[in-house]
Structure 1
């Protein structure tokens, strides 16, 4: 399993709308992508305009090719993109160890 980690910064004062938009985009778009395994979204406490999105994929290519090069990616960015104060920083990670 591959973890996509996106560090997202949104425009100040847009939290309620972004919370709804990211939940809708994940449920309606990303959740239907090939290789999708699940997601988590966390909002910063000290900096509430910062979000950490974690999306779990079967393979790196499911995200980087299958999703990012599809029409679904355009749909996703249409939903959440207007809230971004700057482009998200996205990295991928492989699991090393997990708790029971």
Structure 2
């Protein structure tokens, strides 16, 4: 059986662009949750830093994550948040320590 992967991505948006990024994330969250292999997918905003977002995902396998990264909704999200990012997007792909 494949090992699940946790993904934690942090996006620091340019000042004042957090709302636009959040709108794009809502669409991606909704569509990602429908994907085969998606166990969990949620986006969060830091209350005192509205231009900072964190996405937390859990995938059944590396193959499921790879398929997700090819979807139109994920590519659309990157197309929106990429230009809004004030710094490189930090993505951690993690295996649980058991």
* TM-score band w.r.t. shorter chain: 0.7 to 0.9
* Displacement of 1:52: 1.4
1:13-72 CA-to-partner distances (Å, cap 9, x unmatched) read 1222222221112213x2343311122222223433221110111012321x2222x243
**Contact 1:25/1:79 (CA < 8 Å) preserved in 2?**
no
Counterpart check, 1:12 vs 2:21:
no
Q: Size of the alignment, in residue pairs?
A: 94
Match of 2:39 in 1: 37
4+ long deviations beyond 6 Å = none
- CA gap 1:33/1:44 in 2 versus in 1, 3 angstroms: same
SS in 1 for 2:30: helix
What RMSD in Å do the two structures reach over aligned CA positions?
2.2
The unaligned stretches of length 5 or more in structure 2 are none
Counterpart check, 1:66 vs 2:61:
no
Match of 1:26 in 2: 29
Give the structure-2-normalised TM-score: 0.74
